[in-house]
Structure 1
Amino acid sequence: MQVELLIVRHGQSEADLLGVHEGRADFPLTKLGEQQARNMAAYVSEHLPPDIILASPLLRAKSTAETLQKFIDCELLLKDDLMELNNGVLAGLSKEEALVKYPLPPKGRPIHIPIEQGESELELRFRAEKVFHKILLDYQSYNRVAIVSHGGLISQFIKAFLQQPNTSENIFATGDTGIHLLEIKENARVVRFLNKQEHL
């Protein structure tokens, strides 16, 4: 088996300007975010066109993926498991208000304990593992699969790809419409590049 995974974060969303916790709050792209998505799509269509696009159904990722689809003209499938961390009661809440209503424990929230009505970091990691293995099984006939998602999920997905332990504190940051290219070969997992943003 040999398949490339082209992972893309969505463009700037309105939540980025409002100073709120986003997560499952469904904010659209800003005008800048829409332009970022077009720039990314033009770059990908020229250099790394995928055979299929899988995307989170949240507006910011869905819009980014739809822009890419217009440039590539390939199938786009929306997958709930590609959504960002379910941050429960924090979704859409200002960061200042969240600190008052739901303060973090002194040493931070343990990875196995979720925020109220949400999921834990450990649950997000397991979801990323599930997505990773499901993609390898269901889309192994494709040469290149594009995945349009969110920063938290993408970081955990890369950890799954690198087979890092659940307790790993490493974070793989992704900027607006940042692109990662990973390759699965028969006997190797290859990182081609991480968080490429030269299209911006």
Structure 2
Amino acid sequence: MQILLIRHGESEDDFLEENYEGTTDLPLTIKGVDQVEKMCRRVSEEFPPEFIWSSTLLRASETAETLSNTIQCPVTFLDDLREMQDMESEFNFRLRAQNVLSNIKVNSANYKRIAIISHGGMITKIIESFLQLPPEINDVWFNSNNTGINLLEYTDHPYKLIRFLNSTRHLN
């Protein structure tokens, strides 16, 4: 099974003074909507998913709904795909990511390719979980630009593939 991990488009949260979007819940900007439309065109042409899982935060849900409408596939929204919570430790955040990835994998077993629309921190933690890095390790960061696409793959062999990380070619 292939997993497209996609970060939401630019949102009004990007311009907050503390420069960390976290659990704030503001919509996409005009630029963010444009980024999402470009990402959707690329995904629909190159690797359309059969199912979409998305964070419930507005910037991610708007991104997911646009992708769902573009490729005509269902989307399910999960609170566990939200960004790190205010009082949540790095360790617990990682465990949440590990659990949500495991649940998504089980509930997506009938699909060849799915998409997960989420946030930079959660995408890092999902990739760490995919790589089975120990949860105690919290000094790794996988850069995620707005609408950056990552393609991970569980194969029939005893290994996993990272096809690419943080591709934003659609924005050029």
Alignment TM-score > 0.5, same fold: yes
Deviation at 1:18, TM superposition (A): 2.9
1:155 positional shift: 0.2
Shift in Å at residue 170 of structure 1? 1.2
1:42 equivalenced with 2:41 (yes/no): yes
2:156 matches 1:192: no
- Two-structure CA RMSD over aligned residues (Å): 0.9
Matches within 5 A, 1:1-200: 3-20=1-18, 21-87=20-86, 118-168=87-137, 169-186=139-156, 187-200=158-171
Note the alpha carbon deviations across 1:14-70, whole angstroms, 9 max, x for none: 121233332111011110001000000010000010000000010000001111111
**3-state SS of 2:24 partner:** coil
Q: Which amino acid aligns with 1:173?
A: N
TM-score, structure 2 length as denominator? Answer: 0.95
Aligned residues: 168
Unmatched 5+ stretches in structure 2: none
Which shows bigger deviation, 129-138 or 154-163?
129-138
For 1:132, the aligned partner's letter is L
Letter in 2 for 1:188: Y
Corresponding residue for residue 90 of structure 1: none
CA separation in 1, counterparts of 2:115 and 2:135?
Answer: 25
2:88 counterpart SS class: coil
Of residues 147-156 and 22-31 in structure 1, the stretch that sits farther from structure 2 once superposed is 22-31
Whole-angstrom CA distance in 2 between matches of 1:166 and 1:36: 32
Deviations 1:141-195 (A, max 9, x none): 1000100000000000000000111232111110000000000013111000000
CA distance in 2, matches of 1:152, 1:73: 28
In 2, Cα distance between equivalents of 1:36 and 1:180: 16
Deviations 1:75-113 (A, max 9, x none): 0110111011112xxxxxxxxxxxxxxxxxxxxxxxxxx
Q: TM-score, normalised by structure 1?
A: 0.82
Give the match for residue 99 of structure 1: none
Instruction: Give the Å deviation of 1:119.
Output: 0.7
